[in-house]
Structure 1
Amino acid sequence: MDELNRKSVEEFRESSKMPIIAILENVRSAYNVGSIFRTADAFLLEAIYICGYTAHPPHKEIKKTALGADETVSWKHFKYINDALLELKNEGYTIYAVEQAVNSLKLNAIEQFDGKIAVVFGNEVSGVEQSTIERCDGCLEIPQFGMKHSLNVSVAAGVVLWELVRNKLQTGNLR
């Protein structure tokens, strides 16, 4: 562990976080939730907001895939996503839905993400709810070129969150 330069739980909690929050809206699989916790830990995200019927800790299936990240990453549960969105707007976050939509921004074409960002990941089958999209500042889309034009929500979260973190590291726009 020392050679891998891993942080202890205490060091993780005290570390400066990326100004990015992942919002999970009605994600069915607790395994996907756990995987996203693990990704959030790896990239030192600010938090995860868990909305609707998405499973939240403590949960056996989350624990199985999170591998302890459910103990390190800050999270909040909201029965209604509108409450989460309102809180984030009031705290100055720009909110994007991750969804294939008219006028969506291609993730690879954005040169700079300014300020604090929150991204909404939706249900594995139906995606982000239209009413949620309408409350967001825009949509981000992962360009895809094959026959399938969807990714598992935990894979999509990994791609999008890494791109946001990479962008902030390159531009020095960490706050």
Structure 2
Amino acid sequence: MLTPHERLVTAHFAQFISDHKLQGVEKIMNQRTRHVTVVLEDIFQSQNASAVVRTCECMGLQDIHIVENISKYSINPRVLKGSHKWLDIVQHTSKQHDNTEACIAKLKGEGYRILAADPDEDGVSIHDVDPTQGKVALLFGNELRGVSKRALALCDTKVRIPMYGFTESLNISVSVAICLNSIVTKLHQSGKTYGLSDEEKDHIRLQWYRKIVRNSELIEQEFLRAIQ
């Protein structure tokens, strides 16, 4: 829940934003979801990780999880196109624990089913997954090795993208886009609501206003001093 001061700051920032942009913020806010999230495990190519972040933002996800065991997450600003500013990137970077295990445990504790993307034929087609049956976390592995054995052992289900050519796998950013398009489309077609709570919207709205308004940090400091 926002503090009284944070609510005042939100209202103050709104004065610096055009009505058109405020309406755009609310429209996008109402399409955001935490019912679906994406987990990237040890992605080492910055352009791939950045393309996935951009795809997740475009598809209306609010969260993406980055697991770093052997590869450090890095970004490519030219690919991101600023998309990382509008969602929450949760990095799992502990040097004392298996970050794959920690991330999966966290998500399962929050009620997510873990669906590991794997090309093997024994996996379920992504098009057969019903996201209306509960929250979904799509886990994608390293560009060379794929999803780790530990992740496969801990996941709830393996999912695959049906393919009809000689090549056995897709680029990771393409795989994420196909999977999210299938899952998110089904959510919207269901007619049910999978959006953010009012409390989540309040926090994200303030977060976004701070990014939209120029010199927002200075404006906020001056405003808080004036109302004290």
Superposition TM-score, scaled by structure 1 size = 0.85
- Structure 1 residue ranges (4+ consecutive) displaced by more than 6 angstroms after TM superposition: 5-9
1:169 is aligned to 188
Partner of 2:120: 101
Root-mean-square deviation (CA), in Å?
Answer: 2.3
Q: Which moved more, 1:29-38 or 1:6-15?
A: 6-15
Task: Report the CA distance shift for 1:50/1:78 in structure 2 as closer, same or farther (over 3 A).
Answer: same
**Greater C-alpha radius of gyration:** 2
2:83 corresponds in structure 1 to 69
Partner Cα distance (2:67, 2:156) in 1: 18
CA contact (8 A) 2:100 2:150 kept: no
Instruction: Calculate percent identity across the aligned residue pairs.
Output: 24
**CA 1:128 to 1:43, structure 2 compared with 1: closer, same or farther past 3 Å?**
same
Alpha-carbon distance between aligned partners in 2 of 1:92 and 1:38, rounded to the nearest angstrom: 25
Matched to 2:87, the amino acid is: V
- When residues 7 and 45 of structure 1 are mapped into structure 2, their CA distance, relative to the original with a 3 A threshold, is farther
Distance 2:37 2:22 in 1: 20
Q: Secondary structure at the match of 1:27?
A: coil
- Deviation of 1:98 after TM superposition, in Å, equals 0.6
- Cα deviation, 1:73-113, whole Å, max 9, x if unaligned, reads 11110021211111111110111001123531012234x22
Counterparts of 1:6 and 1:21 in 2: how far apart (Å)? Answer: 26
Q: Which residue of 1 aligns with 2:173?
A: 154
| CA–CA distance in structure 1, aligned partners of residues 72 and 176 of structure 2 | 15
Distance 2:57 2:30 in 1: 11
Does the C-alpha gap of structure 1 residues 6 and 138 become closer, same or farther in structure 2, counting only changes over 3 Å? farther
Greater share of strand residues, 1 or 2?
Answer: 1
Q: Where does residue 32 of structure 2 map in the other structure?
A: 17
More helix by share: 2
User: In structure 1, how many angstroms separate the alpha carbons of the residues matched to 2:164 and 2:22?
Assistant: 37
AA of the residue aligned to 2:67: C
Unaligned ranges ≥5, structure 2: 1-19, 94-98, 195-228
User: Is 1:128 aligned with 2:143?
Assistant: no
Q: CA deviation at 1:64?
A: 1.6
Amino acid at match of 2:89: W
Q: Indicate conservation of the 8 Å contact 1:23/1:119, yes or no.
A: yes
* Aligned partners of 2:101 and 2:150 also within 8 Å: no
8 Å CA contact 1:93, 1:117 repeated in 2: yes
Classify the secondary structure of the residue corresponding to 2:62. strand
Question: If the length of structure 2 is used for normalisation, what is the TM-score?
Answer: 0.66
- Verify the 8 A CA contact 1:20 1:118 in the aligned structure 2: yes
Shifted more, 127-136 versus 94-103: the winner is 94-103
Sort the Cα spacing of 1:173 and 1:93 in 2 relative to 1 into closer, same or farther, 3 A.
farther
> Number of matched residues?
166
